[in-house]
Amino acid sequence: MTDVLDRSLAVCQQHGGTRVTKITLKIGVMSGIAASYVQSFFDVLSKGTAAEGAEIVIEDDPAVFTCRKCGERTEYAALSPEYVCAHCGSAALHLEGGYGLQIINVGIL
Ligand SMILES: [Zn+2]
């Protein structure tokens, strides 16, 4: 999250803004980041910076798996107790996406 703050402040500076008002993040369902804590965590981190008070908007990034057996892709929009290929039922999956945190947009004033 300090990375999100640093990058938002950099965007603000590059564009001659004075404040960061809104940050849109894409958070992978497999990232282990609890979306409900992101705003309060950010509020603490951003205190005293140009991003203080910025609204955090979160988009879920589904987990994307590729099957090692049949090669098909399966998406899980939420955490699941087990992950299997939707096409052949195999549990031999490779996680391709949905484990990271991406900044989609930074709103500045
Ligand atoms: Zn499969």
Q: What tens-digit pLDDT sequence spans the chain (109 residues)?
A: 889 999 999 999 999 999 999 999 999 999 999 888 999 999 999 999 999 999 999 999 999 999 999 999 999 999 999 999 999 999 999 999 999 999 999 999 9
pTM score of the predicted model: 0.86
User: Could you tell me if 104 and 24 are in contact, meaning their C-beta atoms sit under 8 angstroms apart?
Assistant: yes
How many Å lie between the centroid of ligand 1 and the Cα of residue 97? 17
The 3-state DSSP class for residue 50 equals coil
The top-level CATH class assigned to 2-108 is alpha beta
Residue 72 sits at φ, ψ, to 5 deg, of: -80, 160
Cα(31)–Cα(99) distance, rounded to whole angstroms?
4
How many Å lie between the centroid of ligand 1 and the Cα of residue 71? 6
User: Could you tell me if 109 and 19 are in contact, meaning their C-beta atoms sit under 8 angstroms apart?
Assistant: yes
How many Å lie between the centroid of ligand 1 and the Cα of residue 34? 29
